[in-house]
Amino acid sequence: MSNAFNEVLLSLGANCKQKRQRQGLSVARLEHVSGVKAATIWRIEGGSGANPTLRTLCKLADAFDCPLSDLLEP
């Protein structure tokens, strides 16, 4: 994978974790609210080994009540 792609994944993971924690959501609660499996959320937040689909990212953005671009910004 390219370095740029890895940077995007790291930003995505950090942004998701930050939003989840700020909203006081556990991974289990986010799984329930978003419909995204907890294992996928852990992989995304870990920033490695994840390659989420656009559908998954949209589900997370909806659960956080934010635009998708908020999850991807550096």
DSSP labels, 33-48: HH---HHHHHHHHHTS
pTM score of the predicted model: 0.91
The answer to whether residue 1 scores a pLDDT higher than 70 is no
Sequential DSSP letters for the chain = --HHHHHHHHHHHHHHHHHHHHTT--HHHHHHHH---HHHHHHHHHTSS----HHHHHHHHHHHTS-HHHHH--
- pLDDT per residue over 13-59, tens digit each? 999 999 999 999 999 999 999 999 999 999 999 986 778 999 999 99
Check if CATH label 1.10.260.40 holds for domain 3-69. yes
Q: So where are the chain's domains?
A: 3-69
Q: How confident is the model at residue 70 (pLDDT cuts 50, 70, 90)?
A: very high
